[in-house]
Amino acid sequence: MRSSKIMGAVAAGMFALTLGVGAGATMSDHGSGVSQSGHNNNGTSQEANSDSLSEQANENAGSSWKHGKGGSDSDQKNEAETKAKSENENGTKQNLNQEQSVKVVNFRDGHDNGHKKGHKDDHDCTCQNHDGDNHHDNGGWHPGDNHQSAPIGNVSQEGSNKNGTDQKANSEAKTSQANVSQGSGGHGDVKQSNDADTKAESSNKNSTEQKLDQKQDVSSGPNHGKGTATSGDVSQKGSNENWTEQDAKSSATTQQVNVYAPITVWGPAPSGNVDQSNNAKTTSTSSNDNWTNQNLNQDQKASGSGNVSQEGSNKNGTSQSSSSYAKTQQVNVYAPITVYSDGGAKNYTSGDGHSSGGSVHQGNTADTQGSSTNDNGTGQDAGQGQTAGSAPSHN
- pTM of the predicted model, to two decimals? 0.71
Range list of β-strands (E), the chain: 34-61, 74-104, 134-137, 140-143, 155-183, 190-220, 234-265, 274-303, 308-334, 337-339, 360-389
Q: Mind listing the pLDDT tens digit for each residue in 238-256?
A: 999 999 999 999 999 999 9
**Is residue 151 included in any domain, yes or no?**
no
Give the whole-angstrom CA distance, residue 244 versus residue 249: 17
**Is residue 152 included in any domain, yes or no?**
no
Give the whole-angstrom CA distance, residue 308 versus residue 155: 10
**Is residue 16 included in any domain, yes or no?**
yes
Q: Which of 94, 119, 146 is the last residue of a domain?
A: 146
163 Cβ contact list (under 8 Å, min separation 6): 40, 41, 42, 43, 44, 92, 94, 208, 210, 241, 242, 243
Give the whole-angstrom CA distance, residue 27 versus residue 21: 9
Give the whole-angstrom CA distance, residue 367 versus residue 279: 8
Strand, coil or helix: 2: helix
Task: Give the range among 264-268, 296-300, 373-377 with minimum mean pLDDT.
Answer: 264-268
Could you count the other beta carbons within 10 Å of the beta carbon of residue 47? Answer: 12
Shared domain for 202 and 260, answered yes or no, is: yes
Shared domain for 128 and 230, answered yes or no, is: no
Q: Mind listing the pLDDT tens digit for each residue in 319-339?
A: 999 999 999 999 999 888 877
**Is residue 394 included in any domain, yes or no?**
no
Q: What is the pLDDT averaged over residues 133-146? A: 40
Shared domain for 93 and 239, answered yes or no, is: yes
Give the pLDDT score at 186.
59
- CA torsion angle 389 390 394 395 (round to 10): -160
Give the whole-angstrom CA distance, residue 96 versus residue 39: 8
Shared domain for 164 and 249, answered yes or no, is: yes
Residue 95, Cα to own-chain centre: how many angstroms?
Answer: 16
Angle at 205 between CA 202 and CA 211, to 5 degrees: 165
Strand, coil or helix: 138: coil
Residue 166 has pLDDT above 60, yes or no: yes
Containing structural domain, residue 89: 40-106+157-389
Shared domain for 268 and 135, answered yes or no, is: no
325 Cβ contact list (under 8 Å, min separation 6): 250, 251, 252, 253, 284, 370
Give the whole-angstrom CA distance, residue 315 versus residue 239: 8
Give the pLDDT score at 48.
93
Tell me which amino acid residue 341 is.
S
Give the pLDDT score at 128.
37
Shared domain for 208 and 240, answered yes or no, is: yes
Give the whole-angstrom CA distance, residue 226 versus residue 106: 11
Shared domain for 185 and 265, answered yes or no, is: yes
Shared domain for 132 and 248, answered yes or no, is: no
Shared domain for 23 and 63, answered yes or no, is: no
DSSP 20: H
Q: What is the pLDDT averaged over residues 158-187? A: 88
Give the whole-angstrom CA distance, residue 50 versus residue 169: 8
**Is residue 266 included in any domain, yes or no?**
yes
Reported confidence tier of residue 279, pLDDT bands at 50, 70, 90: very high
Phi, psi of 332 (to 5 degrees): -120, 125
Shared domain for 124 and 253, answered yes or no, is: no
**Is residue 281 included in any domain, yes or no?**
yes
Give the whole-angstrom CA distance, residue 262 versus residue 338: 8
CB of 391 closer than 8 Å to CB of 230: yes
**Is residue 12 included in any domain, yes or no?**
yes
Tell me which amino acid residue 317 is.
G
**Is residue 251 included in any domain, yes or no?**
yes
Shared domain for 134 and 170, answered yes or no, is: no
Average pLDDT, rounded, for the chain: 75
Shared domain for 235 and 297, answered yes or no, is: yes
Query: What domain count does the chain have?
Result: 2
